[in-house]
Amino acid sequence: MFRVRRVLLWWFACALVWPVGFRHTLSAEPLGQAAAEEDLRAKARRIHDRAITLDSHVDIAGAQYATPQLDPGTDHPRLKCDLVKMAAGGVDGVFLAAFVPQQARDADGYRRAYQTAMEKISAIRRLATTMYPDRCELATTPDEVERIAAGGKRAIMIGIENGYAVGTDLSNVGRFYDLGVRYITFCHNGHNQLCDSCNPAPTLGDQEAEHRGLSPLGRQVVAEMNRLGMMIDVSHAAPSSFRDVVALNATVELVRRGYTAEAIAKIWGGNLLRVWREVQATAVRQRCEVVPPRILGIFGGMGPEATANLYREIVRLTRASKDQDHIPTLIYSFPQVPDRTAAIQNRDRSIVPYLVEGVSRLERAGASLIVIPCNTAHYFYDDMQQAVQIPIIHMIRETADAVVARHPGCKTIGLLATSGTIQSGLYEKEFRARGLSVVLPDRLRCRWSMPPGCWPKPPSGHTPSSCCGQPRSRVGMDIASRLCPSTEP
Ligand SMILES: [Zn+2]
């Protein structure tokens, strides 16, 4: 039921003008109309009660805020907004602003501005987390605002008024974010290091225009805030700064599609939670683009069946309880790579550009590492690995390592493979390097007295999937169990 609640943003001006106008109407109209107005008033009250009502900006007094000297838990005469007044007025949440007045733009000024912001942020956090956790709660996402309001508490959100507090250290934006700050008003009265103000401060030496919009650092701060998912408040900003922010900020997609700033404002309708949600979602999307997940690249098609098989096995062996647990994977099936066995036999290197094209394409597409489900292609492993920056898993080395690790007593390996794989000598090389000898099918036949012609060519009457009257897999298991008694069939 809560989900259908409409969210309403109370602009400060609106809150002042509306009740005054109402009273005037009531006194001027005849009784019948007064009753109608009373109905309207009741209706307005019902709408107000249903809506989540937020105040987007309330400055706090200073570091003494949220102490016994200035207690927002009481109906305090010095506070225009406190927990008592919010409850009475039906205001569900408030952005409390850590205001920092514009001063000199030097190291000392920046240090003090940062300190002021930090002290005020601490005071706001103190109110929500230490003083009145039973009456209010810190909200850092729109969902939290809804949950807190539904529970009958006041949602406390944090804004910084004046990007002066960021100083010249971009990482301060992240520090503020970590403390719960969700918007920064870029400037106040006076130009600062981020942008031009609509209200230059001649006492600080301001000209009418300085950066003519955002400064280079201001652009970086916009990007950083978008990355983190913070709202950019352009109150007090010069029109040039406003224009630059709109062109750069989270609405960039709408701008690209040709929407004007006015049209974008209309789409969002001044709805703070909707804007916040959009900024948050855009930040997540951008983070996904900036820092892609590790993607497995499968260079396949040699042949396609082996490729499909490998992917099926990867899926089967991945510990996953839902789709999202599986490994992001790019599969490039490229069956036009010339025959590997022939290339090895004829020492024909014209195959190399095909293999390099395959791994390079996966690298360009964003793969973090590559696996190639084709034994013979590994004959050209060095050519491929030299062509890309990302690692290529060497299937045969991995196999040899796994055998050594799992069967430490095993000294001889039986190899069942295509003639191309055997001729490449890849397995023999890797196993020998690990102190193991390899028994090939021809020698196996002699040693284990298998009928002549059994391998690699099946005797007449036998299909390729069987050998000596046994299914091929059975032959393989038999060899393996005789060579390595510890092998589990
Ligand atoms: Zn303010």
> 129-164: per-residue pLDDT in tens?
999 999 999 999 999 999 999 999 999 999 999 999
Q: Where is pLDDT greater, at 284 or 230?
A: 230
Distance 189 CA to ligand 1 centre (A): 11
Predicted confidence band of residue 267 (pLDDT cuts 50, 70, 90): low
Distance of CA 59 from the midpoint of ligand 1 (Å): 5
Q: Is the pLDDT of residue 349 over 70?
A: yes
The answer to pTM > 0.85 is no
Give residue 235 CA to ligand 1 midpoint distance, Å. Answer: 9
Predicted confidence at residue 1, as pLDDT, reads: 32
Q: How far is the CA of 185 from the centre of ligand 1 (A)?
A: 9
* Integer-rounded Cα radius of gyration of the chain: 35
Residue 194 has pLDDT above 90, yes or no: yes
Mean per-residue pLDDT of the chain: 82
Query: Distance between CA atoms of 158 and 78, rounded to whole angstroms?
Result: 20
Give the Å distance between the CA of 56 and the centre of ligand 1: 10
Peptide bond into 456 cis (omega under 30): yes
More confident of the two residues 26 and 172: 172
Contact 91, 148 (CB under 8 A): no
Residues 395-414: tens digit of each pLDDT: 999 999 998 888 887 788 88
Q: Ligand 1 centre from 21 Cα, in Å? A: 26
How remote is the CA of residue 98 from the centroid of ligand 1, in Å? 8
CB 223 within 8 A of CB 121: no
pLDDT in tens, 351-377: 999 999 999 999 988 898 999 999 999
CA 463 – ligand 1 centroid, Å: 85
State in Å: Cα 161 to ligand 1 middle: 6
Alpha carbon of 402 to ligand 1 centroid (Å): 65
Q: Give 368's contacts (C-beta < 8 A, 6+ positions apart).
A: 294, 295, 296, 297, 390
Q: Enter the tokens of residue 454.
A: 């059994």
Distance from the alpha carbon of residue 162 to the mean position of ligand 1, in angstroms:
9
Residue 396 Cα to ligand 1 midpoint, Å, equals 66
Q: How far apart are the CA of 100 and the centre of ligand 1, in A?
A: 9
Distance 160 CA to ligand 1 centre (A): 9
Distance, CA of 162 to CA of 112 (rounded, Å)? 13
Task: Please give the distance, rounded to the nearest whole angstrom, from the Cα atom of residue 62 to the centre of ligand 1.
Answer: 12
Cα(99) to ligand 1 centroid in Å equals: 6
At residue 30 the predicted structure's pLDDT band, cuts being 50, 70 and 90, is low
Ligand 1 centre distance from Cα of residue 71 (Å): 19
Q: How far apart are CA 229 and CA 445, in angstroms?
A: 68
Which of 16-25, 28-37, 145-154, 454-463 has the weakest average pLDDT? 16-25
Q: Using the predicted structure, report yes or no on whether residue 169 has a pLDDT greater than 90.
A: yes
How far apart are the CA of 375 and the centre of ligand 1, in A? 68
Instruction: Assess whether pLDDT exceeds 50 at residue 458.
Output: no
Question: Among the listed ranges 210-214, 232-236, 282-286, which one has the minimum average pLDDT value?
Answer: 282-286
CA–centroid distance, 274 to ligand 1, in Å, is 22
pLDDT value of position 421? 85
Task: Find the 311 Cα to ligand 1 centroid distance in Å.
Answer: 57
Q: Highest-confidence range of 262-266, 280-284, 477-481, by mean pLDDT?
A: 280-284
- List, for residues 298-332, the tens digit of each pLDDT value: 999 998 999 999 999 999 999 989 988 899 999 99
Q: Name the 3-class secondary structure at 396.
A: helix
Whether pLDDT at 440 is above 90: no
| Cβ-Cβ contacts under 8 Å for 102 (sequence gap 6 or more) | 162, 164, 187, 188, 189, 190, 192, 197, 201, 204
How far is ligand 1, taken at its centre, from the CA of residue 468, in Å? 88
Å from CA of 220 to ligand 1 middle: 23
Check residues 279 and 315 and name the one with the higher pLDDT. Answer: 315
Mean pLDDT, residues 281-299: 75
Which pLDDT band holds residue 278 (cuts at 50, 70, 90)? confident
Contact between 350 and 398 (Cβ < 8 Å): no
